[in-house]
Amino acid sequence: MGYSGGVPHSKEIRLTPPLEIAANVLMTASIILAGRNNIHSWWIGIIGCVLFAVLFFQVNLYADVMLQLFFIVTCVIGWLQWRRGAGGKPLPITRTGWRSLAWVVPAGIASVAIYGMLLHRFTNAYAPFIDSAVLVFSIIAQFLLMSRRIETWAFWLLVNTVAVPLYYSRGLHLTAVLYAAYWVNALISWYWWGVQARRAAAAPRAMADA
- Indicate if the pLDDT at residue 208 is higher than 60: no
**pLDDT the model gives residue 204:** 63
Question: Domain segments of the chain: what residues?
Answer: 17-196
**pLDDT the model gives residue 19:** 92
Stretch 14-20: mean pLDDT, rounded? 77
Q: Give CA separation, 63 vs 17, 175, 204, in Å.
A: 21, 16, 44
Helix (H, G, I), strand (E, B) or coil at 89: strand
- Indicate if the pLDDT at residue 77 is higher than 50: yes
Which pLDDT band, with edges at 50, 70 and 90, does 15 fall under?
Answer: low
**pLDDT the model gives residue 4:** 33
What is the share, in percent, of the chain residues with pLDDT greater than 70? 87
**pLDDT the model gives residue 186:** 94
- Indicate if the pLDDT at residue 82 is higher than 70: yes
Spatial distance between the Cα atoms of 30 and 197, rounded to a whole number of angstroms: 21
- Indicate if the pLDDT at residue 138 is higher than 90: yes
User: Which value, to the nearest 10 degrees, does the dihedral of the CA atoms of residues 182, 183, 188, 193 take?
Assistant: 80
Which pLDDT band, with edges at 50, 70 and 90, does 192 fall under?
Answer: very high
- Indicate if the pLDDT at residue 30 is higher than 60: yes
**pLDDT the model gives residue 137:** 96
What does pLDDT average to over the chain?
Answer: 86
Spatial distance between the Cα atoms of 105 and 94, rounded to a whole number of angstroms: 19
**pLDDT the model gives residue 129:** 94
Which pLDDT band, with edges at 50, 70 and 90, does 9 fall under?
Answer: very low
Stretch 177-192: mean pLDDT, rounded? 93
pLDDT-wise least confident of 63-72, 86-95, 100-109, 131-140: 86-95
Q: What is the DSSP letter of 13?
A: P
**pLDDT the model gives residue 63:** 84
Cβ density class 46-69: b for 16+ within 10 Å, e for less? bbbbbbbbebbebbbbbbbbbbbe
Quote the pTM value: 0.77
